[in-house]
Amino acid sequence: MPPTRNPSALEVVVKALAVVAGAILGIYLLWRVRGLVVPVVVGGLLAYICGPLVAGLERYRITRGQAIGLLLLVFASAALGLASLIRAGAPTEIEVLDLKTRALRKVNDRYLRLMGLDSSPGGNRIYRLVHEDAALVMDRANRLLGMTPEERAKFARSHAGRNGRPTGPADAALLDDDRSNLETLERRGLAAADSERPETPRSEVPASPGTRERTPLRLLAGILSTWIVAPTVFFFLLRDTGEIKRSFMRLVPNRLFEPMLAVLEDLDRALGSYLRGVFLECCLLALALALLFAVLGIPVLWAVALAVVAGATNVIPYVGSAVALLLGLAYIVLAETVHPLLPMVTAENVALWLVGGILLVELLKNILIEPVVLGSAAKLHPLVVVLGVLGGGILFGLPGVLLAIPTITIVSAFASSASTQLKAYGLA
Amino acid sequence: MAKTPEVAEPAKIRLALRGLREILLPRPEEKLSVDAASDASLAVFGPAPQTAAGKRGRDLVAFFQQVQLLEELGEADRKRLAQIAHERTYRDGEYIYEQGRPGVALFLLRSGIVEILRRRDGGDEILLATLEPPASFEELAAMGCDVVRWTSARARGPATVVALGRPDIDVLSRTTPVLANKLLRKLAEVTARRLQLLVEAQFLNRTEQGAKDAADPQSQRP
């Protein structure tokens, strides 16, 4: 065996400095192109999820290119179908005004009942406690949901006949709601203040020097120029048959070859378990919420739609239940009536039952669903989850919030596996 | 030079085999070196092919055709396998893997010479065999979990090996199960055949030797 030469202290220092300089340069470059990091990660994750689908199609003697093309066709069709459904279901301008009028009436009525102002001018104990803060919130809600004079004119034209009388009972109810809202606005002193506020034409607002106006077209161009990376990464990663991994492994020194193979295997297992677990968790949560909404009287189609949206947002921890609560309350406020299946649930207390039901579903999710479905795949401390999600949001906005937990899972799995393998191979 | 790794205990692996109550085969006396052409090492690593060293496949797919482990695969299967294979180059004296460490890949020798060594308790290494292309070795690492290497492999002169990792073969099981099935069947066949040859080399040769001694006219009774 040939004798080996111990590296000199100078060589060690030079190597260490080179590694540190390389790491700093890498971090700096990554920070400069951080706008591309999220689209690349999103494209990569989607490719990882769709990889087994393509592999499954290849087993039926479909070539890889054809399988990817078929997958893209299915995605495009689904997106177009969803877009047409949304367009078909989207309310018209008059329908939006009707919704706003109905919602504002219900919000004001429920506020009066909650504060006891419908039975006594001085209100109840809750009112005396929180009326200053609640008044600010209610003023904001009234401004938000109130109609401008032009909108009111359109509203009146669509629901009153030429003689100014409503054309049907539904129109009569809406006009009654509008009258009630106007009284509330006058009572709160908002109507006069709003009509006196002059509207400043946008063109007269001087633009500060050195800034470009963010028109919708510019905004779209900015988003497309960055997010065009995501489908590109998605396509090329799906098309890859191992060349990327082989190219990466060529950079690994011989003594780290087998440890790196083992680490990549552990990462693959961790990410796969996490994604499968989260998908199952979202499905089970959506099922539980759909049942809850249906029991509380929300029509089945709406119950399923709201539950699917809430379930999908559960990829961000703790957000799924919050979204379910908001959507459920919004439906209860906006809907004409609800028909609960349970006798003790009435239109008056359905909101309270909704809150209680969602708390119960969240408890079931934490105690039963998560331990069984996720297991030890991505068991992170709740503090790590909260800090990670907040940090991701600060750094990268909404995509950062969505990708925080998968990123933490991958980094944690890599650190754990690398430590184990380096010890096993006597390198640490 | 990497620090001397701790020696694994292959005996633990052998005695962990379920259903194996006792090995009746007497262990050979330990010698300082084992002739690479001896029956035992030939049984474990196969004979050095006479003509393969001269044949250098122009590419990986052509090389796979020469490997005994993969000779039954069609060209499409060999191409698929080439997509997951890793080609590694080692310097003279560089270890490809070390005794006592976990194993996650099997190796096919593409060029050069590789020495298979076994480290004794005292720390000195004995040469078990030398391999030349297109030998395959450490097939067990591609099949089983928690495999611990019972030998070391070192390059004598520059050597190139092609590694097939166990994780990549696991992925192959999901994406192309027919190919993975062929490969794993062949791996099992090679491993079982080597065990049979090893037993024959150790046991049957001794029995034949004993029979010869018994048949010796000088030892026969009138």
pLDDT of residue B160: 94
Give me the residue label for tokens 């539904």: A170
Q: What is the pLDDT of residue A159?
A: 83
Cβ pair A178, A155 in contact under 8 A: yes
Is residue B184 within 8 A of residue B140, CB to CB? The reply is no
Cα-based torsion angle of the residue sequence A37, A39, A42, A44 in order, rounded to the nearest 10 degrees? -70
Query: Using the beta-carbon criterion (under 8 Å), do B86 and A425 form an inter-chain contact?
Result: no
Nearest by CB: B2 against A246, A255, A257: A255
Q: Distance between CA B36 and CA A398 in Å, rounded?
A: 65
Instruction: Provide the shortest C-alpha distance from residue A233 to chain B (in Å).
Output: 20
Amino acid at B64: F
Please report the pLDDT score of residue A200 as a whole number. 43
Residue B106: closest C-alpha in chain A: A258
CB contact under 8 A, A261 and B96: no
- The distance of B100 to chain A (nearest Cα, Å) reads 9
Q: Over the stretch A373-425, which tens digit does the pLDDT of each residue have?
A: 766 655 677 788 888 888 888 887 877 888 888 888 888 889 999 999 999 99
Distance from A240 to chain B by nearest Cα, in Å?
10
Q: Is A149 in CB contact (< 8 Å) with chain B?
A: no
| Bridge partners (DSSP) listed for residue B148 | B102
pLDDT tens digits for range A239-268: 888 888 999 999 999 999 999 999 999 998
Give tens-digit pLDDT for A4-48.
556 688 888 998 899 899 999 988 888 888 778 878 888 888 888
Distance separating alpha carbons of residues B165 and B85, to the nearest angstrom:
8
B211 CB-near residues (< 8 Å, 6+ apart): none
Cβ atoms of B137 and B131 closer than 8 Å: yes
Instruction: Give strand pairing partners of B109.
Output: B161
Chain A residues with CB-CB distance to B174 below 8 A:
52, 55
- The predicted pLDDT at position A427 comes to 83
pLDDT at B172: 85
For residue A2, give the nearest of B93, B167, B168 by CB distance. B93
What is the residue-averaged pLDDT of chain A?
Answer: 82
Provide the pLDDT confidence category of residue A332 given band limits of 50, 70 and 90: confident
Q: Do A249 and B175 touch (CB under 8 A)?
A: no
Label the pairing between strands B125-131 and B102-103.
unpaired
Distance of alpha carbon B161 from alpha carbon B168, whole angstroms: 16
Q: How far apart are the first and last CA of chain B?
A: 64
- What is the pLDDT averaged over residues A61-83? 86
Q: What is the pLDDT of residues A263-276, one digit of tens each?
A: 999 998 888 888 88
Interior angle at CA B92, CA B89 and CA B97, nearest 5: 65
Tokens linked to B56: 């250098």
What is the Cα–Cα distance from A67 to A55, expressed in whole angstroms?
8
What is the SS3 string spanning chain A? CCCCCCCCHHHHHHHHHHHHHHHHHHHHHHHHCHHHHHHHHHHHHHHHHHHHHHHHHHCCCCCHHHHHHHHHHHHHHHHHHHHHHHHHHCCCHHHHHHHHHHHHHHHHHHHHHHHCCCCCCCCCHHHHHHHHHHHHHHHHHHHHHCCCHHHHHHHHHHHECCCCCECCHHHHHHHHHHHHHHHHHHHCCHHHHHHHCCCCCHHHCCCCCCCCCCCHHHHHHHHHHHHCHHHHHHHHHHHCCCHHHHHHHHCCCHHHHHHHHHHHHHHHHHHHHHHHHHHHHHHHHHHHHHHHHHHCCCCHHHHHHHHHHHHHHCCCCCHHHHHHHHHHHHHHHHCCCCCCCCCCCCCCCHHHHHHHHHHHHHHHHHHHHHHHHCCCCCCCCHHHHHHHHHHHHHHHHHHHHHHHHHHHHHHHHHHHHHHHHHHHCCCC
Interface check for A253 against chain B (CB to CB < 8 A): the answer is no
Among partner residues A246, A265, A425, which is closest to B86 by beta-carbon distance?
A246
Provide the chain B residues 101-160 that lie in CB contact (below 8 A) with chain A: 101-105
In the block, which residue shows the tokens 């003790």?
A344
Q: Could you give the angle at the alpha carbon of A113 between the alpha carbons of A111 and A119, nearest 5°?
A: 130
The answer to whether residue A103 scores a pLDDT higher than 90 is no
Pairing state between β B86-90 and B152-165? antiparallel
Instruction: Tell me which residue in B83, B92, B165 faces A261 most closely, judged by beta carbons.
Output: B165
pLDDT higher than 80, residue B156: yes
Question: Does B107 have pLDDT greater than 90?
Answer: yes
Size of interface A-B (CB pairs under 8 A): 67
Summarised one tens digit per residue, pLDDT across range B55-105 is 443 588 889 988 888 888 898 889 889 989 999 999 999 999 999 999 999
Tens digit of each residue's pLDDT (9 = 90 or more) over A36-60: 887 888 888 888 888 888 888 888 8
User: pLDDT tens across A162-194, in order?
Assistant: 677 777 888 888 888 888 888 888 887 765 444
CB A381 within 8 A of CB A19: no
| Spatial distance between the Cα atoms of A192 and A190, rounded to a whole number of angstroms | 6
Considering chain A, what percentage of its residues have pLDDT values greater than 70?
Answer: 89
d(CA A27, CA A108): 53
For A254, the closest of B1, B88, B166 (CB atoms) is B88
CA-CA-CA-CA dihedral for B175, B180, B182, B187, to nearest 10: 170
pLDDT in tens, A86-99: 777 777 888 888 88
Chain A contact present for B84, CB below 8 A: yes
Question: How many angstroms separate the CA of residue B75 from the nearest CA in chain A?
Answer: 16
Distance from CA of B62 to the nearest CA of A (A): 19
Percentage with pLDDT > 90 across chain A:
15
Please answer whether residues B93 and B155 qualify as being in contact, where contact means their C-beta atoms are separated by less than 8 angstroms: yes
Query: Is residue A201's pLDDT more than 60?
Result: no
Q: How sure is the predictor about B117, in pLDDT bands with cuts at 50, 70 and 90?
A: very high
Tell me the C-alpha to C-alpha distance, in Å, between residue A372 and each of A165, A272, A406, B178. 61, 16, 19, 33
B19-59 pLDDT, tens per residue? 555 555 555 554 444 444 445 555 556 554 444 443 443 58
